Amino acid sequence: MPELPEVETYRRFINELAVGQTIAAVRVNDAHVLALPEAELRAGLVGRRLVATHRLGKNCFLELDNGRILVLHFGMTGDIGAYRDPADAPRFVRVAFALEDSGLNLAFIDPRKFGRIRLAESVEAYGKAKKLGPDALVITAAELQAKIGHRKTILKPLLLNQNLLAGLGNWIVDDVLFQAKIHPERLANTLTPKEFAALHRATQHVLSTAIRHEANYREFPLNFLIHSRGWDTSAAPDQSVHEYCPRHLKTRIEKSYVGGRATYVCPKCQPRPTS
């Protein structure tokens, strides 16, 4: 779940639930997700008040009243939750932050434990340390073209590289390329200015649509490629997987691996490069 729209949705949730509150305690169920010693995290958080939230790419930032930052990265399966009674805690809560005023616990949930929790001196310092590019919702078309337009490598892995622009993940890139009608294996330096404009427009469209639906992909428009990924296993069989292109109803969506990642393409909308 945790690509840019999911993280933005978590951020808004945390903003409502936790900003203004003081952290009374930190519960660590599994220290594996900590990128710093547990004692250090606790010392940095307990008694501090949360004053704001921020986001850069897939990273969520909780600003403390001393200016330091609690950084949450959700890996592949991270999620945010809240509970009052420990008996009602959801599965896979790895770390929970007890909030003094409301008595609620803010939960960092992560079955697969690829997520990480850390402290940083500032959002800027963290972004610099991780060499993160500009946020995918903030980058301009010109910046995007300047960053990748000269590269002679396959497009999709470039768009997934957080050092170039931050926030795009595997399914979003596929949907962006589908909406922009560009094949993921095109070399970046072969894109026309028109295609860069389309790429940028599609990025904004996919991200803002996903955020508007709070990243609930089942609510995404039917012309989104995400419905072809077969995630929706709980739906009725006739609507669980959209096998065909929403624009070419007789053309089957094709699955392959690009840069080692599962990749979905409409062969008609996104013609494979010849060379």
Partner DNA sequence: ACCCATGTTCTTTG
Partner DNA sequence: TCAAAGAACATGGG
Query: Nearest Cα to 263, choosing from 184, 163, 166, 158?
Result: 184
Taking the CA atoms of 99, 101, 103 and 104 in sequence, report the sign of the dihedral they define: negative
Residue 49 CB coordination number (10 Å): 16
- Smaller CB distance to DNA: residue 153 or 223? 153
- Smaller CB distance to DNA: residue 23 or 165? 165
Query: Is 147 annotated in the active site?
Result: no
* Binding characters for DNA, 78-97, by CB under 7 A (x = yes): --------------x-----
Query: Is 86 annotated in the active site?
Result: no
User: Is 54 a residue that touches DNA (CB under 7 A)?
Assistant: no
* 3-class state of residue 157 by DSSP: helix
* Binding characters for DNA, 178-217, by CB under 7 A (x = yes): ----------------------------------------
**What residues from 101 to 120 belong to the interface with DNA (CB under 7 A)?**
111-114
Pull the structure tokens for residue 275: 């060379």
User: Is 267 a residue that touches DNA (CB under 7 A)?
Assistant: no
- Smaller CB distance to DNA: residue 23 or 186? 186
User: Is 262 a residue that touches DNA (CB under 7 A)?
Assistant: yes
User: Is 76 a residue that touches DNA (CB under 7 A)?
Assistant: yes
User: Is 31 a residue that touches DNA (CB under 7 A)?
Assistant: no
Taking CA 82 as the corner, what is the angle to CA 100 and CA 54, rounded to the nearest 5 degrees?
80
Q: In b/e form, how buried is each residue of 109-131, taking b as 16+ CB within 10 angstroms?
A: bbeeeebbbbbbeebeebbeebe
User: Is 237 a residue that touches DNA (CB under 7 A)?
Assistant: no
Q: Which residue in the set 170, 179, 203, 228 belongs to the binding site for DNA (CB under 7 A)?
A: 170
> Which of these is catalytic: 254, 261, 267, 273?
261
Query: Is 3 annotated in the active site?
Result: yes
User: Is 231 a residue that touches DNA (CB under 7 A)?
Assistant: yes
Distance from C-alpha of 129 to C-alpha of 64, rounded to nearest angstrom: 20
Question: Order of strands, edge to edge, in the sheet holding 93-99?
Answer: 23-28, 93-99, 105-109, 79-83
Distance from C-alpha of 64 to C-alpha of 60, rounded to nearest angstrom: 13
Taking CA 136 as the corner, what is the angle to CA 125 and CA 167, rounded to the nearest 5 degrees?
70
Query: Is 131 annotated in the active site?
Result: no
- Smaller CB distance to DNA: residue 83 or 114? 114
Q: Of the ranges 36-44, 80-88, 146-154, 175-183, which one interacts with DNA (CB under 7 A)?
A: 146-154
Distance from C-alpha of 155 to C-alpha of 149, rounded to nearest angstrom: 10
Question: Order of strands, edge to edge, in the sheet holding 50-56?
Answer: 50-56, 59-64, 69-73, 116-120
**Which residues form the interface with DNA (CB under 7 A)?**
1-3, 6, 32, 57-58, 73, 75-77, 92, 111-114, 130, 151, 153-154, 157, 160, 162, 169-171, 231, 233-234, 259-262
Catalytic residues: 2-3, 58, 261
